[in-house]
Amino acid sequence: MASSALRLRRIGAIAAAAAAATTTFTVTISSNDNRSVDPSIQTKIATSNGVVPPRRAHISSLVGSTPDKPLDILVVGGGATGCGVALDAVTRGLRVGLVEREDFASGTSSRSTKLIHGGVRYLEKAVFNVDYGQLKLVFHALKERKQVIDNAPHLCHSLPCMTPCFGWFEVVYYWAGLKLYDLVAGARLLHMSRYYSAQESIELFPTLKRMGDDKSLKGTVVYYDGQMNDSRLNVGLACTASLAGASVLNYAEVVSLLKDDVDGRIIGARIRDNISGEEFDTYAKVVINAAGPFCDFIRKLVDKAAPPMISPSSGVHIVLPDYYSPEGMGLIVPKTKDGRVVFMLPWLGRTLAGTTDSNTILTMLPEPHEDEIQFILDALSDYLCIKVRRTDVLSAWSGIRPLAMDPRAKNTESISRDHVVCEDFPGLVTITGGKWTTYRSMAEDAVDAAIKSGKLSPANECITHNLILTGGSGWDPSNFTVIAQQYVRMKQTRDGRVVPGVMDTAVAKHLSQAYGTLAERVASISQNEGLGKRLAHGYPFLEAEVAYCARYEYCESATDFIARRCRLAFLDTDAAHQALPRVIEILTAEHKWDTSRKNYEFKKAKEFLETFKSSKNAQFHDGKHK
Ligand SMILES: Cc1cc2nc3c(=O)[nH]c(=O)nc-3n(C[C@H](O)[C@H](O)[C@H](O)COP(=O)(O)OP(=O)(O)OC[C@H]3O[C@@H](n4cnc5c(N)ncnc54)[C@H](O)[C@@H]3O)c2cc1C
């Protein structure tokens, strides 16, 4: 706590020097999770059948705000944080708008490791530095971990992660540390950690190395964290906020902020619709800046000299074929030879691998460097008994973490992963830092700050602790059997005939996990509209999903679909390339695009995929899904 307080005093001092009229910096941990959800809100979300208002309705409501009749809150940024804020505020009965310059989750929130975690490494630091503040952060994140999983059960699940030990000291060290992790989780524990002998470990993880640096494997400690489909969770937050009454608009960029002439308070923003090119003003009692790594750009719209709050830090991930890791078991090496963490996790039928972050510069489309990809491959080969090959890399991407900056810190490791809420310009509340796992409590803190700043009158307190997202209410892991048993996939042949195909287990499971209880709506489209073909060989994504996402998930471009509605770009760049023509064809029918828009979509999607550095000749055909 002491170091947090010092950090805040430092940032506060800098902001004061910038002569901000009102400055409040807080790092808060929300604690009250006993508030119940107003049943009418939960019912409204659950019974809407996922039918969100159209994009044009949101434009009208944002354009319709005036200085005399402003929104309560305008949120800038449609990542996890911004969409979390919109959902929190609208379910407190406030009038809310949200603008995102590209797509929901197009920033960092689709590029995470996809872990919902308390931060085992921070627990280690808490113990060794006797740092109660760090311990509190872990405690808090573990609490949020359980809530994120419970509130979107279709998109999140618990995942066992194995830590290999090549010495008996390591066995004792990791076993004790992970038992402490269980203990700190308390009632929110997902499952107990446990030790497995070398023989048991190899049965569970056949590709694990038996010998490392002349030492034989002594066993492994397996512990549990959560795993999610990050961009779909983000889109789920946006759609749930929309169903609850917020006006959420993607492809809408804040180009300037509006100030009151008399007292200089921020009273709204000038927004450019990046689809039509038109600009309009939206007025709000408070603007919440949730622009992630770009939140300093928004602050600089008020004062070019605003001191930076963000220290950008980038992380690279690669995707490998499924045979690298067993289904349902991750591998985490807390300290590789150079001291970095390396992990390998099963994800959507493939293997996701990566390491910790390094300092970077800010860019909208970050790209992984070849040496970072090679570092991950080299680190993995120290722990696997199979050939680890660059040619197996199906996709590789980079993401930028919005670390809230401590001006004294020299490296990203020592910068706190905690979030910061600040109002250094009256009427503009900035929320940044934190992590995906804690988006809900970050949102709660930001909305609390906005209520104070704008003297807003919410109808109720924060209720997002127990608010189930769209598609999650009543979902059960066995739901996929209904899809498999009750639907067929009607597929159009090359000569134009429509023939029935089986709704196989892989597709049924995918639909159920991606769309929750709304999966039946996608299955219906595939059955009734002849859109039952797979979009790419070896992947369970269906043509029907393109139409569904265009209609009910604000999917406005081909990239939105291949990257953030289905995850093909992240899983397999080549497969995403192959799916593009059909994706664009279906979106053209849904959005009535003309030829020039179609060509533009091809160009943009190809440019996007160029930033994913897969192996040019990656060859992987699992032969499962013909
Ligand atoms: C490599 C990596 C791995 C990670 N792994 C994990 C993990 O496993 N678990 C975890 O809990 N956390 C993880 N994180 C952290 C987590 O991903 C981030 O904390 C979180 O996604 C940040 O969300 P955000 O909404 O604040 O930012 P973003 O997702 O970046 O959203 C900000 C949005 O603001 C928009 N925007 C910017 N300027 C404007 C403007 N002028 N007008 C309108 N919109 C604008 C952007 O387009 C963007 O979409 C990871 C981060 C990285 C980089």
pLDDT single digits (tens) 117-159: 988 888 888 777 877 888 888 999 999 999 999 999 999 999 9
Query: Has residue 620 got a pLDDT over 60?
Result: no
pLDDT of residue 613: 73
pLDDT of residue 625: 42
Alpha helices in 98-254 (DSSP H): 120-128, 132-151, 168-185, 198-204, 230-243
Query: What amino acid is encoded at 211 in this protein?
Result: M
Percent of the chain at pLDDT > 90 equals: 76
Number of the ligand 1 atom closest to the C-alpha atom of 436 = 11
HSE-up of residue 21 (Cα within 13 Å, Cβ side): 12
Number of the ligand 1 atom closest to the C-alpha atom of 84 = 25
Query: Has residue 24 got a pLDDT over 60?
Result: no
Residue 252 Cα to ligand 1 midpoint, Å, equals 17
The whole-number average pLDDT for the span 13-35 is: 41
106 lines ligand 1 (CB under 6 A): yes
Sequence-separated (6 or more) residues with CB below 8 Å from residue 152: 228, 233, 236, 468, 469, 471, 472, 516
Decide: helix, strand or coil at residue 453: helix
pLDDT of residue 61: 97
pLDDT of residue 104: 98
Residue 342 Cα to ligand 1 midpoint, Å, equals 21
Answer yes or no: are the C-beta atoms of 422 and 296 closer than 8 Å: no
First and final C-alpha spacing in the chain: 56
| Higher pLDDT among residues 405 and 536, named by residue | 536
Sequence-separated (6 or more) residues with CB below 8 Å from residue 46: 468, 470, 473, 474
Q: What is the pLDDT of residues 321-367, one digit of tens each?
A: 999 999 999 999 888 877 888 999 999 999 999 987 777 677 788 88
Q: Could you tell me the pLDDT band of residue 6, with boundaries at 50, 70 and 90?
A: very low
What are the backbone dihedrals phi and psi of residue 404, each rounded to the nearest 5 degrees, phi first?
Answer: -75, 125
Number of the ligand 1 atom closest to the C-alpha atom of 315 = 1
Sequence-separated (6 or more) residues with CB below 8 Å from residue 341: 121, 332, 333, 334, 335, 355, 356
Query: Has residue 408 got a pLDDT over 50?
Result: no
pLDDT of residue 4: 36
559 lines ligand 1 (CB under 6 A): no
What are the backbone dihedrals phi and psi of residue 550, each rounded to the nearest 5 degrees, phi first?
Answer: -65, -35
Q: Could you tell me the pLDDT band of residue 526, with boundaries at 50, 70 and 90?
A: very high
Tokens at 534, concatenated: 């797979």
Question: Rounded to two decimals, what is the model's pTM?
Answer: 0.92
User: Angle, nearest 10°, between helix axes 505-515 and 519-528?
Assistant: 130
| Higher pLDDT among residues 616 and 514, named by residue | 514
Q: Could you tell me the pLDDT band of residue 618, with boundaries at 50, 70 and 90?
A: low
Average pLDDT over the chain, rounded to whole? 89
The whole-number average pLDDT for the span 153-173 is: 96
Q: What is the pLDDT of residues 202-247, one digit of tens each?
A: 999 999 999 887 899 999 999 999 999 999 999 999 999 999 999 9
Mutate to test the pocket of ligand 1, among 109, 235, 299 (most ligand atoms within 8 A of CB): 109
Cα separation, 249 vs 65, in Å, equals 15
Query: What amino acid is encoded at 146 in this protein?
Result: K
Query: Do strands 350-355 and 358-359 pair parallel, antiparallel, or not at all (unpaired)?
Result: unpaired
pLDDT of residue 324: 95
pLDDT of residue 33: 55
Beta strands in 194-309 (DSSP E): 194-196, 211-212, 215-216, 219-228, 247-249, 252-259, 266-273, 279-289
Cα separation, 58 vs 48, in Å, equals 17
Query: Do strands 310-320 and 395-404 pair parallel, antiparallel, or not at all (unpaired)?
Result: antiparallel
Number of the ligand 1 atom closest to the C-alpha atom of 99 = 43
Tell which residue, 404, 357, 442, 429, has the closest CA to residue 140. Answer: 442
Cα separation, 461 vs 453, in Å, equals 16
| Higher pLDDT among residues 198 and 124, named by residue | 198
399 lines ligand 1 (CB under 6 A): yes
Number of the ligand 1 atom closest to the C-alpha atom of 431 = 26
User: Angle, nearest 10°, between helix axes 230-243 and 80-90?
Assistant: 20
Q: What is the pLDDT of residues 456-513, one digit of tens each?
A: 999 999 999 999 999 999 999 999 999 999 999 999 988 889 999 999 999 999 999 9
pLDDT of residue 59: 98
Q: Please report where in the chains the tokens 């830092």 appear, as a residue.
A: 433
pLDDT of residue 31: 46
81 lines ligand 1 (CB under 6 A): yes
Residue 80 Cα to ligand 1 midpoint, Å, equals 7
Cα separation, 379 vs 372, in Å, equals 11
pLDDT of residue 218: 96
Alpha helices in 152-229 (DSSP H): 168-185, 198-204
Buried/exposed 452-463: b ≥16 CB within 10 Å, e otherwise: ebbebebeeebb
Tell which residue, 6, 344, 288, has the closest CA to residue 163. Answer: 344
Residue ranges and CATH numbers for the domains of the chain are: 2-109+231-309+413-466 (3.50.50.60), 156-226+312-404 (3.30.9.10), 477-610 (1.10.8.870)
Q: Could you tell me the pLDDT band of residue 551, with boundaries at 50, 70 and 90?
A: very high
Answer yes or no: are the C-beta atoms of 550 and 591 closer than 8 Å: yes
Cα separation, 475 vs 162, in Å, equals 29
User: Angle, nearest 10°, between helix axes 80-90 and 439-454?
Assistant: 60
The whole-number average pLDDT for the span 584-607 is: 97
115 lines ligand 1 (CB under 6 A): yes
Q: What is the pLDDT of residues 250-277, one digit of tens each?
A: 999 999 999 999 999 999 999 999 999 9
108 lines ligand 1 (CB under 6 A): yes
Within its chain, how far is the Cα of 334 from the centroid?
Answer: 23
Q: Please report where in the chains the tokens 């959507």 appear, as a residue.
A: 348
pLDDT of residue 40: 82
Cα separation, 564 vs 442, in Å, equals 23
What are the backbone dihedrals phi and psi of residue 470, each rounded to the nearest 5 degrees, phi first?
Answer: -55, 135
Buried/exposed 79-92: b ≥16 CB within 10 Å, e otherwise: bbbbbbbbbbbbbb
pLDDT of residue 312: 86
Q: What is the pLDDT of residues 76-129, one digit of tens each?
A: 999 999 999 999 999 999 999 999 999 999 999 999 999 999 888 888 887 778
pLDDT of residue 12: 30
Find the Cα–Cα–Cα–Cα dihedral 361, 248, 418, 114, rounded to 10°. -80
Alpha helices in 382-415 (DSSP H): none
Query: What amino acid is encoded at 237 in this protein?
Result: L
User: Angle, nearest 10°, between helix axes 573-591 and 595-610?
Assistant: 160
HSE-up of residue 334 (Cα within 13 Å, Cβ side): 24
